[in-house]
């Protein structure tokens, strides 16, 4: 087991810098997930940790040991990829034992480790089969088993579940969580799927364009995204963004004019530096919007409601995501809100939504989040 730290790590391919100034600390025994859009550098960062690529600058430590110049075989990592690359002519047992045989491990130890790994992965009954007689999920388990038998200090997974169907992916996710609990080994898992990241990670590292945008627990990222990129990336369906400008601020609340009815109050954490007229982006998640009646408001303040008409509905069964064209001065993207799946929606139907001050997010001109009130 090992803690991993990286200082100002950069990677260039020719003139293209694909990893920029990454400083990162992963705790011993942690399940860390690297997430980000395609091409943002997730695999490259993982390969730098594995030693499959050399850094162009910076250093990498496992515990207190500098491993920057070490070969992959000297780092004690095991990597599992999307493609399983099992040897087709060997049995499951031999596939799992292969790496240990190469290292001249004695046969009793090999047998013990393969049996133990097969037990953990629940593939003991498959040990004599050839890979072609296995399902995709079973093959992926063998690939993971091949990694476990080596007792690595760190497991590195690069999109290992991408080839599996949706149901099997969910099952394998739970199994990976169980595996992590049972082994307690540091794991780093790469995915572009934010749902996978949210459900697996102790902490998520959000990457974008070779840079770390934010590191935090799934709920920290959900409640307190550092910027527009993280806010838009974490959460499904994604957060709604509406451009607006500040019309008033009293330290606890900022009133934002979004060009659609009354200004929207947003609760903020600290006396905001945003003066009147400051351009901002208001964010609100589909699950935080609720339908209301136009005049429904207990006090005498103008209601922070937005009005619009239904343009599209995505039915998921238990819930539906309704797209609303807002009544605005300037055209904006449809606002998406979550509704009960039993309700019938007609295209063109008018809807009023309530915007709750403590459920809204605010971002300044540069895209940085304004601290939230809670």
Binding site for Mg ion (CB under 5 A): 43
The one of ligand ATP, Mg ion, none whose footprint includes residue 300, by CB under 5 to 8 A per kind, is none
Across the strands, what pairs with 208?
Answer: 211
Interface with ligand ATP in residues 190-219 (CB under 6 A): 192
- Choose the contact partner of 18 out of ligand ATP, Mg ion, none; CB within 5 to 8 A by kind: ligand ATP
Nearest distance from C-beta of residue 17 to ligand ATP, angstroms? 9
The CA distance from 148 to 84, in Å, is 14
Please, what is the Cα angle at 224 between 218 and 227, to 5 degrees?
105
Per the DSSP assignment, residues forming a β-bridge with 242 are 282
Distance from C-alpha of 140 to C-alpha of 312, rounded to nearest angstrom: 39
Distance CA 205, CA 233 (A): 12
305 binds ligand ATP (CB under 6 A): no
Binding mask 161-180 for ligand ATP (x = CB under 6 A): --------------------
Under rule CB under 6 A, residue 41 binds ligand ATP? yes
Of 212 and 339, the one with the shorter C-beta distance to ligand ATP is: 212
Per CB under 6 A, 43 contacts ligand ATP: yes
Sign of CA dihedral 150, 151, 155, 157: positive
Q: Applying CB under 6 A, which part among 11-19, 85-93, 175-183, 341-349 lies near ligand ATP?
A: 11-19
Determine if 39 is a binding residue for ligand ATP (CB under 6 A): yes
Q: Which stretch binds ligand ATP (CB under 6 A): 37-45, 225-233, 278-286, 351-359?
A: 37-45
Q: Is residue 18 involved in binding ligand ATP (CB under 6 A)?
A: yes
- Interface pick for ligand ATP out of 2, 42, 254, 260 (rule CB under 6 A): 42
**DSSP helix/strand/coil, 103:** coil
DSSP 181-202: HHH--EEEEEES-HHHHHHH-S
Could you tell me the two tokens for 172?
A: 């394998």
Task: State the Rg of the chain over Cα.
Answer: 25
Which tokens is 337 given?
């809100």
Q: In the complex, which residues of this chain contact ligand ATP (CB under 6 A)? A: 13, 16, 18, 36, 38-44, 192
């Amino acid at each position: 087991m090992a803690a991993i730290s990286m200082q100002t790590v950069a990677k260039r391919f020719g003139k293209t810098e694909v990893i920029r100034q990454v400083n990162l600390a992963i705790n011993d025994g942690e399940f860390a997930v690297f997430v980000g859009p395609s091409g943002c550098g997730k695999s490259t960062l993982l390969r730098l940790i594995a030693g499959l690529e050399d850094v162009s600058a910076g250093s990498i430590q496992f515990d207190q040991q500098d491993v920057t110049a070490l070969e992959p075989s000297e780092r004690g990592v095991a990597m599992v990829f999307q493609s399983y690359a099992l040897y087709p002519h060997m049995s499951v047992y031999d596939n799992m034992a292969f790496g240990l045989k190469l290292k001249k491990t004695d046969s009793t130890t090999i047998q013990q480790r393969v049996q133990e790994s097969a037990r953990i992965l629940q593939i003991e009954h498959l040990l004599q089969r050839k890979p072609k007689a296995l399902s995709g999920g079973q093959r992926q388990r063998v690939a993971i088993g091949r990694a476990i038998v080596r007792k690595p200090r760190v497991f590195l997974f690069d999109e290992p579940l991408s080839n599996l169907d949706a149901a099997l992916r969910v099952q394998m996710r739970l199994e990976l969580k169980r595996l992590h609990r049972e082994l307690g080994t540091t794991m780093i898992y790469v995915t572009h799927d934010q749902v996978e990241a949210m459900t697996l990670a102790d902490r998520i590292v959000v990457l974008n364009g070779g840079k770390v945008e934010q590191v935090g627990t799934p709920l920290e990222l959900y409640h307190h995204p550092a910027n527009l990129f993280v806010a838009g990336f974490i959460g499904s369906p994604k957060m709604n963004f509406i451009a607006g400008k500040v019309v008033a601020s009293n330290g606890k609340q900022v009133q934002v004019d979004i060009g659609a009815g009354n200004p929207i109050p947003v609760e903020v954490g600290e006396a905001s530096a945003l003066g009147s007229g400051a351009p901002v982006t208001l964010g609100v998640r589909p699950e935080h919007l609720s339908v209301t009646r136009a005049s429904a408001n207990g006090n005498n303040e103008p209601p922070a409601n937005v009005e619009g008409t239904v343009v599209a509905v995505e039915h998921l069964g238990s819930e539906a995501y309704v797209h609303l064209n807002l009544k605005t001065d300037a055209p904006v993207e449809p606002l998406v809100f979550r509704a009960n799946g039993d309700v019938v929606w007609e295209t063109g139907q008018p809807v009023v939504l309530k915007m709750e001050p403590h459920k809204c997010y605010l971002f300044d001109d540069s895209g940085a989040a304004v601290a939230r009130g809670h």
